[in-house]
Structure 1
Amino acid sequence: MDVTQILMLITILVYLAAMVGIGAVLAKQNQTTDDFYLGGRTLGPLVTAMSAEASDMSSWLLMGLPGVAYLSGTADAAWTAIGLAIGTYVNWLVVAKRLRNYTHVCGNSTTLPLFFSNRYRDNKRILSVIAALLIIIFFVPYTASGFAACGKLFANLFGMDYLPAMLISAIVIVAYTTLGGFLAASTTDFVQSIVMTIAIVVVFGFGISKVGSFSAVMDNAKSMAGYFSLTHTHDVATGTASPYSLLQIFSTLAWGLGYFGMPHVLLRFMAIGDANKLKLSRRVATVWVVISMAVSVFIGVIGNAMTKAGVLPTLKDPETIILVVADLISKHGVLATIIAGLILAGILAATMSTADSQLLAASSSASQNILKEVFMKDMSEKTGMLIARITVLVIALIGVFIARNPDSSVFQIVSFAWAGFGASFGPLVLLALFWKRSTFQGALCGMVSGGVMVFVWKFLIRPMGGALGIYELLPAFLLGLAVNVIVSLLTPAPSREVQDEFDKVASMK
């Protein structure tokens, strides 16, 4: 490694050490398993807002979104961002406060699966166990993809072997998550959202300065057929525009439906200390999401202009655009090198902030919703804390095993897992919160049918193409919603106790 690489590596290592330090400081606040998995419901509005969004965005914000825009123009990237922005706002507006209040009133539920069982008086914990299994099935490979992304980042930048680079990343994430639990994950996510913001703002400004002006960037975008459009995409091979149909638009917008079922996002709603401050959280989260995604899309557009201007080479992998720009920035002196290291730390932050939340959600499902609720109901708090930390380690080891091969297809699980959570839990969360007539049978059938349809549509129906080639989340979500409603109407109404509890929550301000 040369001096520039060493300086960037030192910057990243200082950042990683700071994350572990936060976990160590917050470790003392974890006196019970409720503290470990939900932070004792003490999060402030800013940490709630930013940790929720940082845990959601992952490296997709800094790599995937700019990469799509760089290659094919704004349509696909913009409609995805619009769908996610709408989903973010509606989730905060409609779900956040009701879920916070309902989970507190309903047996002080500290996990989403536990809330499902408590809400429907499922004493056998059938809903809880099935939901926990779904979380483990989808989140373990998702967490592995985070480990792998961090490993590839170090390997590509510093010439390290992939496996030790991936292991170092995994150890850091596991260290602060195991030490500090939910509070550490949320606090580090808050810090990481700031680092991510710095990264995209610096790259955005540097890119424009290298092209010459924002007008020059726009002129380049408009010069390519279908590139700067919401109804067409740019075909690089032919240089022509391809229609972006109304069906494709709705299919892409459907990404926003996934928010209603994301356990690691919903947990932030449940953990805020004062439900009345969720309005502030909503405003902060929405503004950050809209601005950060818009800037990320334009980074792709700017990167294309930088290539056309000869500032950057043609990228074989468009998703590496921020890495390439960071390398370019590092050649402008010591301070610029440190800033470049901070940008790379931002990419690392985006991945880590998602991986830690997924790791915690998967481990809580295994230890709390399966081990404690089914097999060890009389578990003491001391034993519970020990098992909680051991479970984090076990889940992480499985993730490391899955991520050991850098050429594995684990990354393909990301959009699939998003669809799985959205279709399985999204309709259930909405109906549990807002429909008094929803029954246990409806909840169970809706959750299972939504999850199964994700597999069916992905592997059996979508390959047929044409109108059936839409993202599996949309049809699976609609099916899960319909089945929940129909089965609920065909089964006896909930007990008076359940209905009174629903009315109590609905009347809360």
Structure 2
Amino acid sequence: MKLIVLLVYFAVLIGIGLYCRRHATDVNGFVLGGRSVGPWLTAFAYGTSYFSAVIFVGYAGQFGWKYGIASTWIGIGNALVGSLLAWVVLGRRTRIMTQHLDSATMPAFFGSRFDSKALKIGSSAIIFVFLIPYTASLYNGLSRLFGMAFNIDYTVCIVLMAILTAIYVIAGGYMATAINDFIQGIIMLFGIVIIIAAVLMSKGGFMEAVNGLAQVSDPAASAQPGVFASFFGPDPLNLLGVVILTSLGTWGLPQMVQKFYAIKDESSIHKGSVISTLFALVVSGGCYFLGGFGRLFSDQVNIEADGFDSIIPTMLSNLTPILIALVVILVLSASMSTLSSLVIASSSTLTIDFLGGTFMKNMSQRKLLITIRVFIFVFIAISAVIAIVQYKSNVTFIAQLMGISWGALAGAFLAPFLYGLYWKRTSRLACWVCFIFGCGLMIANMLFRTSFPTLLQSPINCGAVAMIVGLILVPVISLISPAPNKEIVDDAFSCYDKETTVPQKTALGK
């Protein structure tokens, strides 16, 4: 039964990839789906790119263990700040200005908005460097689940997942990814609800599970009794750091922001914001809520020996075979959807912005498409090799690079992108300072972690600080640096002043 479910799932993914080849005949169609993607596909593409196996297996288990049921706040933050507010603040302006500047990637936006080829190349290099370890980390967590369900080697799982993702992304581009994300999102929505219900029932139901969690004590975490069943958990300050990084961080991640480039129309933005928020509330809130009950399985988990990644698989190990099959499909869906978004973002950036702006200028549409497809294969292959090396040699620092990558990308890009959409005074120098500070801080955290203050030794907290400081640095540096070229800035912002006729239900007439 488990094998049949997997084979049907794989066949559907490949079939959609081949079907969508007709949408991927030029760069605009391949990278952005022709900027004609509707609200449901865009919202699900955003949500499934947001939540991967790293969230379901790694973060949910780790933070659920640390903060108990209060870790649900992370999911709520992801829904309200990472989804709803991101759509409201970034969605419309991103779609309008990127089309006006004819930019298909985040580096292309920086290059056109600030009239800087160097800024475009620099940002594309940052994406290239920091997206690869992020991509490799997606495979983490799959090993235990596949071992539990099928008793097959982890290397086989990685190769299989890499090949399938490569086939449908290379064939159908963004549209194939969006349609498959929709299917994978449906699986994630129903899967997480069913799994939560099954796990809680195995502990006597919701109230019994909460009562059991209230009896758990850990002097190392808190001397307060029942803290793991409390509203804010044993460590509210560090919990806030996780909420900020995982919620606000999406505003600066290229694979997330790029979803707004492809939105079809105004109504799609309104509908998409609601759909995306509800999706995040169920999937992310559900994952962290489930992880919050991890300590009920402490008699079966050895954190010292197996790490936090063993918590969620242990919680699911006693489910029925059909539910385990559902879990495997859910985690595969979460990982493959995020993987496809990352490789499209990284390969298109490397081809269009880095190579196209330096070594391979004036490439034809056909050559651009071929090069993007080649780099998709290369990125997937490199990430798969890194994941296999990490698994075989137990090089743990590779798995930890997820937090470093997320913090560096969001710390470097969030403030320049946000201010670039809203504020004419944003300067080129401010962007460079933010790029250098965000990446530099996270690299320093990785190399000299013990020298940092205790609160900032966590890559999560350090990434949150990188984003917040960036939001302060950009306006300060912009005000003390030379003003940008008025003609270029006015041209970029002229797209917002274009008059558009709308129905009276949207705006009253004179």
Give TM-score, length-normalised by structure 2: 0.87
Which letter maps to 1:88?
A: S
The verdict on how the C-alpha distance between 1:147 and 1:252 changes in structure 2, with shifts beyond 3 A counting, is closer
For residue 283 of structure 2, the aligned residue among 292, 298, 303 is 292
1:41 aligns with 2:41: no
Change (3 A) 1:181 1:215: same
1:151·1:169 contact (CA, 8 Å) conserved in 2? no
Give the counterpart of 1:443 among 408, 425, 431. 431
How far apart, CA to CA, are the structure 2 residues paired with 1:223 and 1:483? 46
Q: Which letter does structure 2 place at the counterpart of 1:59?
A: A
* Alpha-carbon distance between aligned partners in 1 of 2:229 and 2:282, rounded to the nearest angstrom: 18
Q: In structure 1, what is the Cα distance between the partners aligned to 2:293 and 2:456?
A: 34
Counterpart code for 2:272: S
**In structure 2, what is the equivalent of residue 417 of structure 1?**
405
- 1:121-180 deviations in whole A, cap 9, x for unaligned? 22xx21111111111111112212224544554345322223233211111111111111
SS in 2 for 1:24: helix
Give the deviation of 1:44 after TM superposition.
Answer: 0.7
d(CA) in 2 for partners of 1:23, 1:475: 40
Counterparts in 2 of 1:464 and 1:114: CA distance versus 1, 3 Å:
closer
Residue type of the alignment partner of 1:21 = G
Q: Is the 8 A contact 1:101 1:275 kept in 2?
A: no
Which residue type is aligned with residue 437 of structure 1?
Answer: R
Tell me the matched-pair count: 479
CA–CA distance in 1 between the matches of 2:361 and 2:395? Answer: 39
Q: How many Å apart are 1:444 and its aligned residue?
A: 2.3
Report 1:286-435 matches (<5 A). Answer: 286-302=277-293, 304-305=295-296, 307=297, 313-314=300-301, 319-320=309-310, 322-324=312-314, 326-330=316-320, 337-405=321-389, 406=391, 407-409=394-396, 410-435=398-423
Out of 73, 98, 116, the position equivalent to 2:93 is: 98
Structure 2 equivalent of residue 132 of structure 1: 124
Q: CA deviation at 1:479?
A: 3.5
TM-fit CA distance, 1:181: 1.1
Question: Do the aligned partners of 1:155 and 1:165 also contact (CA within 8 Å) in 2?
Answer: no
Once residues 43 and 503 of structure 1 are traced to their aligned partners in structure 2, the CA distance between those partners, rounded to angstroms, is: 24
1:236 maps to which residue? none
Question: Would the aligned equivalents of 1:83 and 1:252 in 2 still touch at CA under 8 Å?
Answer: no
| Structure 1 residue 273 corresponds to structure 2 residue 244 | no
Alignment of 1:179-194 (within 5 A): 179-194=171-186
Match of 2:250 in 1: 259
Q: Which runs of 5+ in 2 are unaligned?
A: 217-224, 501-510
The correspondence of residues 70-109 of structure 1 with structure 2, limited to 5 A, is 71-74=65-68, 77-85=71-79, 86-106=81-101, 108-109=102-103
Whether the 8 Å contact between 1:450 and 1:477 is mirrored in structure 2 is yes
Kindly report the root-mean-square deviation, in angstroms, between the aligned alpha carbons of the 2 structures: 2.4
Letter in 2 for 1:132: S
CA contact (8 A) 1:69 1:298 kept: no
Tell me, yes or no, if the aligned pair for 1:99 and 1:269 is still in contact at 8 Å: yes
Identity of aligned residues (%): 26
- How far has the Cα of 1:69 moved from its partner? 5.5
Q: Aligned with 1:63: secondary structure? A: helix
SS for the counterpart of 2:424 is coil
Higher mean C-alpha displacement, 70-79 vs 159-168: 70-79
Q: 1:31 aligns with which of 25, 32, 39?
A: 25
Report the residue type matching 1:32 in the other structure: D
What residue number does 1:474 align with?
Answer: 464
Distance (Å, rounded) in 1 between the aligned partners of 2:143 and 2:58: 17
- TM-score for both structures, normalised by structure 1: 0.87
Describe the shift of the 1:339–1:139 C-alpha distance in structure 2 as closer, same or farther (beyond 3 A).
same
